């Protein structure tokens, strides 16, 4: 998925990504065939079903769930009742599907798994965004994602009101402590930044700083953002003062929900939170056959 799509105000999932996600989930769940539905449900049985949320939250994953049903059986009719980014209430129907009962039951778990996981991410992101409301700080995701699900998980973050950081190693320069350890002095880093500035197409440049002293020389390199890693509140406040709007600032490292507000009050532009994707609680959904 392209970074510009991920960072749009209303994210859009590419058709190829949706189909790949649907096929991957169905491949591991259905396998050669759904043996239980095959022996218990007559071939021509037609039914209508709906997906209901059991918890309050922020919805994400509707295009993926729809893709699962359509990939299972193109003849299924899917009616979307609530769109992604919507706030949903327990007991609310979000999607209806009609057609072969065998197909509906075969698709059920894969569709629900995506909705549960992605809505969990969107809901948690919304909670973090609300925590810093009233400040200039925005919530960023990270690359701490489930292997193979990064694009979908970053989409869910955006549904919850968060901002996507780089998608991968290819769409932004981010020089971290292990990169900086290779260089003997700041002068060598100047040459690296100059080389990065000549990259075509242009990419943003960010450099990690672990100390206030590092911030003092990094800010002179004319880059886009400085990552303030594992700093105390006092160090962050001092760093923001040194940066003085010459580039963006991002706080990272141990960013728990409880710490968010006091970190935002230091004046940083962004706070990056790995917990949005690496340890989120799923939102409960169920599929009910109604006729």
Active site residue ranges: 109, 144, 176, 208, 229
How far is residue 96 from each of residues 12, 26, 162, 224, measured CA to CA in Å? 21, 19, 28, 46
Other Cβ atoms closer than 10 A to 9: 5
Nearest to 211 by CA among 190, 188, 228: 228
Give the residue carrying structure tokens 């991410």.
121
C-beta pairs of 263-267 under 8 Å, 24+ apart in sequence: 263/137, 263/233, 263/236, 264/131, 264/132, 264/135, 264/136, 264/137, 265/135, 266/233, 266/236, 266/237, 266/240, 267/136, 267/237, 267/240
What is the dihedral sign for C-alpha 283, 85, 63, 143?
negative
Nearest to 159 by CA among 13, 38, 1: 13
First-to-final CA distance of the chain: 38
């Amino acid at each position: 998925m392209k970074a510009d799509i991920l960072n749009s105000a209303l994210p859009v999932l590419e058709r190829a990504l949706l189909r790949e996600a649907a096929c991957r989930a169905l491949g591991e769940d259905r396998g050669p065939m759904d043996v239980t539905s095959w022996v218990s449900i007559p071939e021509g049985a037609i039914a209508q079903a709906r997906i209901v949320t059991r918890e309050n939250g922020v919805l994400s994953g509707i295009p993926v769930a729809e893709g699962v049903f359509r990939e299972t059986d193109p003849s299924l009719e899917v009616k979307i009742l609530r769109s992604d980014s919507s706030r949903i209430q327990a007991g609310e129907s979000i999607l209806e599907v009609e057609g072969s009962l065998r197909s509906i039951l075969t698709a059920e778990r894969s569709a629900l798994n995506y909705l549960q996981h992605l809505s969990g991410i969107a809901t948690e992101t919304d909670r973090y965004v609300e925590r810093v409301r009233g400040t200039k700080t925005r919530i960023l995701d990270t690359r701490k994602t489930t292997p193979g699900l990064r694009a979908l998980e970053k989409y869910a973050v955006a549904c919850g009101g968060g901002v996507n950081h780089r998608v991968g190693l290819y769409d932004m320069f981010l020089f971290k402590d292990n990169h900086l350890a290779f260089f003997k002095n700041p002068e060598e880093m100047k040459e690296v930044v100059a080389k990065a500035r000549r990259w075509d197409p242009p990419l943003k440049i960010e450099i990690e700083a672990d100390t206030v002293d590092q911030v003092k020389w990094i800010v002179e390199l004319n880059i886009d953002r400085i990552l303030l890693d594992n700093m105390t509140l006092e160090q962050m406040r001092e760093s923001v003062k040194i940066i003085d709007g010459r580039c963006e600032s991002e706080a990272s490292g141990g960013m728990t929900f409880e710490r968010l507000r006091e970190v935002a009050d230091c004046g940083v532009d962004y706070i990056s939170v790995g917990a949005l994707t690496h340890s989120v609680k799923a939102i409960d959904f169920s599929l009910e056959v109604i006729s």
